[in-house]
Amino acid sequence: MFALIDCNNFYASCERLFRPDLRTTPIVVLSSNDGCVIARSNEARALVAMGEPYFKIRAICRAHGIAVFSSNFALYGDLSARVMQVIEQASDRVEIYSIDEVFLDLTGLSPEACRTFCETLRAKILRWTGIPTSIGLGTTKTLAKMANHVAKRILGVSVLDITEQRAWLSQIPVGEVWGVGRQWQRALVAAGIFTAQDLVAADMRMLRTLGNVRLQRVALELQGVICEGLAQSQPAQSIVSSRSFGAMQDSFEALAGAVSGHCRRAWTKLRRQGMRAGALSVFVLTNRYRPDLPQYSNRAECRLARPVDSLRELTRVSRILLERIYREGYAYKKVGVCFDALTPLAQASLFDEPNEQTQAADARWMHTFEAVQRRFGRDALYLAAEGIRRPWAARAGMCSPNYTTQWSALPRVRLSQCKNSSRLV
């Protein structure tokens, strides 16, 4: 038996956690630069469509009293880690599928024991983190995913075992089946396959013709045949940091500052994973949604002489790469940095190391840099190459405080003495 634990409206739930005054208020969360809707509370679903640009729904939000938030990924990431920690304490057979979804392998437990385990775990997650979840149970990962869909979107229940309730598959559009993308959805609908139940009953040879062996596996999993177990976590093959600008930029120095900032963010992930980068690339893009402006995009790559984890060296190389592809006369909307050819620190060749004195000095520098970041936040210290004014910074005019990661943002609770009582409220 597999279980899928899904945090309900995760980003909206994170925002609501420290704002009890918004318990029944519709909430939407916007993408980077306050661009479009990427999350909605249940109350907002009937009012605002997912992916809608904010400028189109601003009046709707005002009219209906919708609370609007800029995305706060520091908060979401920290609360996600707390949820995952609770789950991993309860089971060691876990696959973290996304920031708000986790698969569990409950093989060996009876259906009744699985349900009891999931109900207890759900209550514990809510009590320890404040994040509500829904849990779907099935004999395969795909069925567990479908059970979660039925639990949240159709029945509104917390835990559902779909094993003895396969009839619900006829209520799920084929496009909602896990693993069926838009291209396959169009092909399946054209072939008369409209629901998950239709996919279960479809001829396997026809599915192979419409898609490939992966589509056949989806159908088999819906039938209860296990085609995929828990995925083993794999080391990252690359690390990317990129973001659209709050306002388009045309100067080289503005782009260089943004590239340096992305280098630092990617480097933080690199160090956290205990890796070194053997290759580096930088890319630039103009705004494809502005056909009235000249369009340009390019990418420059460099294979490093030796794998490195030095922020200063990676920043120096990234600036050189930007110089190769920067062109005057364009309004740039986005830049990014990618670290490739990652290798663990332990695998670095002794013959590729810099001299011992240089290596020790760089290690001390990075240790101090990271210590400051841990104590005062990731943006407390940065290289001068990032600049101070940062005209390229993303818009986040409605961002909530980092309640769980910054001391200065801790919520304050006022206690007052009740009249004729020693109880504090």
Which residues are the active-site residues? 101
Query: How far is residue 141's CA from residue 138's CA, in Å, rounded to a whole number?
Result: 7
Query: How far is residue 307's CA from residue 275's CA, in Å, rounded to a whole number?
Result: 9
What angle, 0 to 180 degrees and rounded to 10, lies between the N-to-C axes of helices 10-17 and 73-90?
100
Backbone phi and psi for residue 159, each to the nearest 5 degrees, phi listed first: -135, 135
Rg (CA), the chain: 25
Collect all residues with Cβ–Cβ distance below 8 Å to 106 and sequence separation of at least 6: 1, 2, 3, 91, 93, 114, 117, 137
Amino acid at 185: Q
Q: Is 2 helix (H, G, I), strand (E, B) or coil?
A: strand
> Do 4 and 136 touch, CB atoms closer than 8 A?
yes
Closest CA to 72 of 399, 352, 361: 399
Query: How far is residue 91's CA from residue 357's CA, in Å, rounded to a whole number?
Result: 46
Query: How far is residue 100's CA from residue 6's CA, in Å, rounded to a whole number?
Result: 6
Handedness of CA 222, 223, 224, 229 (dihedral sign): negative
Query: How far is residue 34's CA from residue 56's CA, in Å, rounded to a whole number?
Result: 12
Collect all residues with Cβ–Cβ distance below 8 Å to 387 and sequence separation of at least 6: 253, 254, 257, 260
Closest CA to 175 of 218, 141, 111: 218
> Do 137 and 1 touch, CB atoms closer than 8 A?
yes
Q: Is 419 helix (H, G, I), strand (E, B) or coil?
A: coil
Q: Is 109 helix (H, G, I), strand (E, B) or coil?
A: coil
**The tokens 């059970």 sit on which residue?**
147
